[in-house]
Amino acid sequence: MRDVVLDRPAVMLHDMNYLLVILGAAMVTALFARCLKRYEGFFKYVDALGLGVFSAIGASLAVSRALSPISVLFIASITGAAGA
């Protein structure tokens, strides 16, 4: 979504590594769901950290395009909520 708003090419549609990582993570989660359940608190922490980093990357891209501060917040929010 962010790349569409910033008029950038969507890298994940051109690089098969993204798809492979997503499929691998989905398979590991499906196969080891019961074992991973005890790490739920840790995964929530890591997920929150990743969301913050992902939003910061979106904000950085908006700043590099010399957008207004409100637009930077908008792009960071879109990146966090809807993805790249």
- Indicate the domain borders of the chain: 2-82
Element (H, E) at 68: none
Judge whether residue 70 has pLDDT over 90: yes
77 to 14, 18, 22, 35, 53: CA distances (angstroms): 24, 22, 22, 33, 12
CA gap 8, 22 in Å, rounded: 22
**pLDDT of 3-48, one tens digit each?**
666 777 777 777 889 889 989 999 998 999 888 889 999 999 999 9
User: 78: which residues sit within 8 A by CB, 6+ positions away?
Assistant: 1, 2, 5, 58
| Cβ–Cβ under 8 Å, residues 79 and 55 | yes
Report the pLDDT value the prediction gives residue 73, as an integer from 0 to 100: 94
